[in-house]
Structure 1
Amino acid sequence: MKKTLLLCLLMGTFAFSQTEDEKQLKAIYDTALTNGKAYDWLNHLSNQIGGRLSGSVEAQQAVEYTKGQLDSLNLDRVWLQPVMVPKWVRGAPEFAYFETKPGLTTNVPICALGGSVATPDVGIKASVIEVQGIEDLEKLGRDKIEGKIVFYNRPMDPTQISTFSAYSSCVDQRYSGAAEAGKYGALGVIVRSMNLRLDDFPHTGSMSYGDTPVNDRIPAAAISTKGAELLSTTLALNPDIKFYFKQNCKQLPDVESYNVIGEIRGSEYPNEVMIVGGHLDSWDLGDGSHDDGAGCVQSMDVLRLLKETGYKPKRTLRVVLFMNEENGLRGGRKYAEVAKQKNEKHVFALESDAGGFTPRGFSFDCSEEDFEQILGWKELFEPYLIHLFVKGGSGADIGPLKDEGIVLAGLRPDSQRYFDHHHAENDTFEHVNQRELELGAATMASLVYLMDKYGPVLTKKIKG
């Protein structure tokens, strides 16, 4: 009889807890969809400020704007965390064409890759050799590469349902292609844009020369997918064509910038820190709405949504808008460095850096025990069509925080359209749907609520 009564009491407590959680999630989603702020904030970032290249005036304007908005939320504390960042500038627009016979040219859309050196003032004109990846260089050898422009033309794999997996499988040619081709005497590299769609938008992105001496570095540019197809077809018909390109980019000395941080102090465990964030910098071709203006405004709205719905966090909750994710990760590393210096205990970090599309769920970098607990919350998200709870990566900016006991998570929106816009001129505000953006903010706030209320498993064990 006593056992039966105890079981009934436990079941009643569990049912009450579930009902309480369901009510809180509904309040969060209802508030986001009827009184969300993320879309208005993004409108200002995108249309009043624009592309926020690390070290630029626009990046500083974004710092000042987002700090002001966080100040207006009456958080317990808002501050700027200084960080030195690289300052690379694009200069005058790039220009390129291929020549099938003297005087007969066809223009193609290109853009310099972030971090590339410029071409000589008169540009570079040379024969082209097409490869499918870095591994082809060794097979060809210096005799076939020296004095030519290497054209990397491995496309993203359309059979990969995860577009991020397709991206990962060929982005090495963008990041390391110039450093590797330079070893064989190439004059420059042209890289097919990381894009599953055929269009005329070249997609920039970071690249690295590794330990290549400055005087030996060769210029690198991305070509649009349509341009790549045209160049490849023309090469097959006429291998003797010449390619010309000119770009005017420059690397300037590092400058000071900031991570923007807002905080709600924890009511029970103030020394346990949970963060939610995105990166405030973007590339300069578009206005950075999806990458990663969306993640920043969603993260800002997480704190506002919890305040609006009357929830008081047990743990200290921070929003962190990281600077310089795109071409250096300086902001993420600086935040982790300062946290370590101050001996802060971070127990959870969530990043949104996959666009403002319809949220599908999360990926988690955590222990099996924590993941089992998280899976127990899955049914709470099902009414909102959030179904993806997988172990995997989280986010670049929160990666430096990784340590035993912390749960790292990444928001996972539908990814099928993301690389249509990623790092390109068409990453602009009109391509963000307000409802999808607000659903993402609500989904993030709901996970933060649950993680704060129940806490990571390992943290509870340590307390015990």
Structure 2
Amino acid sequence: MIKIFKKALFTIAVILIFNTVKAQDSLMLRNIYDNALVRGEAYENLRHLCKNIGPRLSGSANAQKAVDWGKKLMESYGFDKVYLQECMVPHWVRGEKEVGKIINGKTEINVPICALGMSPATPKNGLKAKIIEVKSLEELASLGESLVKGKIVFFNRPFDQRFIETGRAYGAAGDQRFKGPAEAAKYGAVGVIVRSLSSTLDDYPHTGTTIFPEGSKKIPAAAISTKAANQLSNLLRLKKLPEIQFYFKQNCQLLPDVKSYNVVGEITGTEKPNEFITVGGHLDSWDLAEGAHDDGTGVVQGVEVLRIYKSLGLKPKHAIRAVMFMNEENGGRGGEKYTELAQKNKEIHIAAIESDGGGFTPRGFSFQDVTQKGIIKINEDWKHLFTPYLGDLLTIGGSGSDIEPLSVYKDAVLIGFRADSQRYFDIHHTPNDVFENVNKRELELGAASMASLVYLIDNYGITH
């Protein structure tokens, strides 16, 4: 009987301790969210980055200004360490504004286009040729050289609107931009026009990088707005019209690589200073706008995580780093350099969180390479803590391209911050990606959710 009584007391004690810990965690998350929402500085930091510096394409003068700003900002917060990681990055320049025209006999229709990143220029007087529409790389291959050679290939696969998570639609349509120009060149195409990767219909062409593998032929490639893509497609279907031609002129060039930097801020761990939790986004942006959602929001949220820690007087067990990665948009060299140096310095990385899906309302996090058993445990332990803040979607999924190289650490869990995606690809890589399209509270809620997850990982670890 005594043994049973002692066992019951032990069980009650464990339950009380467990509930006390849960209450303490809940209170800490409340403090984190309060700090971000009442005393947060992410929004004003983003304002400075967007309005005082602006577009920050790798290799540009503005990219260097952003590096200098980021280092001074982190130093002003008194982080334990602030430093730069040197890396060589591409220096692609867009040049004068592009010109695009649909030519229907004697009729010329001006349409909005923009050069794809890393594309070569057209000839000095532009490029005019017959145009052929395809929906996929497979359709292009089926046409072969006999039907493609000497023509401009028009890739016109729209977003699949059935995807609730628009990032999946982006992924499904993206190969025509990433790989399409190089593939079209194999069959003798002289140029490529790609439907903008967006779920909306508008007259804003969306830039983004295209990839020409080493040794492959490079041909001019541009994105066309979704409205103009529909217009061009409709004309191509009208067989009674003269054969449609397309004209475009772009003046971009690829210059020699330029020295640039990741910007790193760190709070030293009190117990495990050589074990790291990384959080951040990429500092570079495309040149068409201010790079507010892509990825100014991720950059300032990463810094805000460390600022919240300092403001609340939290002393993490592990080292926590905020990283402003350079060159995500057209090369990924900042992320590669970060992992290279981590390995060289024999660092241990247990987790990394990237915010690169915009500063919209937080929905949760996706965990890369976590098992089904692992994600169940994550939800059992932490879902209830995020539920009051409406950001409790904790799922298996991708992380982010800057932290992807850290997958060499088999025990590291790579995590993607997931914001509501419905508006992101309306803005992504367009002139609309400006500070005014970022909501202050949404941005702050995202920073708080990231800081909260860092707190939980630091205190309890995270399993696969």
TM-score relative to the length of structure 2: 0.96
Question: What residue number does 2:19 align with?
Answer: 15
Larger mean Cα displacement after TM superposition, 137-146 or 30-39: 137-146
Deviations 1:7-44 (A, max 9, x none): 11111111110111011100010111111111001101
1:374 equivalent to 2:375? Answer no
Q: d(CA) in 2 for partners of 1:123 and 1:220?
A: 12
1:391 equivalent to 2:396? Answer yes
Q: CA deviation at 1:424?
A: 0.9
Partners of 1:188 and 1:220 within 8 A in 2: yes
**1:41 equivalent among 22, 37, 45:** 45
Q: d(CA) in 2 for partners of 1:311 and 1:197?
A: 43
Partners of 2:131 and 2:246 within 8 A in 1: yes
**1:166 equivalent among 163, 169, 187:** 169
Question: What residue number does 1:323 align with?
Answer: 326
Q: d(CA) in 2 for partners of 1:117 and 1:72?
A: 41
Question: What residue number does 2:109 align with?
Answer: 106
1:228 equivalent to 2:211? Answer no
Q: d(CA) in 1 for partners of 2:113 and 2:463?
A: 50
Q: How does 1:186-201 map to 2 (within 5 A)?
A: 186-201=189-204
Question: What residue number does 2:436 align with?
Answer: 430
Q: d(CA) in 1 for partners of 2:448 and 2:291?
A: 21
1:64 equivalent to 2:65? Answer no
What amino acid is aligned across from residue 384 of structure 1 in structure 2? Y
Q: How does 1:277-356 map to 2 (within 5 A)?
A: 277-356=280-359
SS of alignment partner, residue 86 of structure 1: strand
SS of alignment partner, residue 347 of structure 1: strand
Q: CA deviation at 1:211?
A: 3.2
Q: CA deviation at 1:364?
A: 0.3
Partners of 1:298 and 1:437 within 8 A in 2: yes
Q: d(CA) in 2 for partners of 1:239 and 1:397?
A: 48
Q: d(CA) in 2 for partners of 1:314 and 1:409?
A: 20
Q: Which runs of 5+ in 2 are unaligned?
A: none
Q: CA deviation at 1:212?
A: 3.9
Q: CA deviation at 1:138?
A: 2.0
Partners of 2:370 and 2:396 within 8 A in 1: no
Q: d(CA) in 2 for partners of 1:101 and 1:320?
A: 54
**1:363 equivalent among 363, 366, 370:** 366
**1:247 equivalent among 224, 231, 250:** 250
Question: What residue number does 1:418 align with?
Answer: 424
CA gap 1:212/1:239 in 2 versus in 1, 3 angstroms: farther
Q: CA deviation at 1:372?
A: 3.8
What amino acid is aligned across from residue 56 of structure 1 in structure 2? S
Q: d(CA) in 1 for partners of 2:311 and 2:178?
A: 43
Q: How does 1:146-225 map to 2 (within 5 A)?
A: 146-213=149-216, 216-225=217-226
Deviations 1:172-211 (A, max 9, x none): 1101111111111111000000001000000011111113
Question: What residue number does 1:265 align with?
Answer: 268
Partners of 1:366 and 1:406 within 8 A in 2: no
Q: CA deviation at 1:71?
A: 0.3
Partners of 1:99 and 1:242 within 8 A in 2: yes
Partners of 1:381 and 1:387 within 8 A in 2: yes
Q: CA deviation at 1:3?
A: 0.5
**2:445 equivalent among 439, 449, 457:** 439
Q: d(CA) in 2 for partners of 1:171 and 1:353?
A: 17
Larger mean Cα displacement after TM superposition, 227-236 or 368-377: 368-377
**1:400 equivalent among 402, 405, 419:** 405
What amino acid is aligned across from residue 336 of structure 2 in structure 1? R
Q: d(CA) in 2 for partners of 1:186 and 1:212?
A: 17
SS of alignment partner, residue 412 of structure 1: strand
Q: d(CA) in 2 for partners of 1:378 and 1:255?
A: 44
Deviations 1:212-263 (A, max 9, x none): 44xx321000000011011111111236021100000000000100000000
Q: d(CA) in 2 for partners of 1:328 and 1:90?
A: 16
Q: d(CA) in 1 for partners of 2:171 and 2:263?
A: 29
Q: d(CA) in 2 for partners of 1:446 and 1:279?
A: 21
SS of alignment partner, residue 44 of structure 2: helix
**1:453 equivalent among 455, 459, 462:** 459
Question: What residue number does 1:26 align with?
Answer: 30
What amino acid is aligned across from residue 108 of structure 2 in structure 1? T
Q: d(CA) in 2 for partners of 1:101 and 1:76?
A: 67
SS of alignment partner, residue 367 of structure 2: strand
Partners of 1:179 and 1:212 within 8 A in 2: no
Q: d(CA) in 2 for partners of 1:367 and 1:416?
A: 26
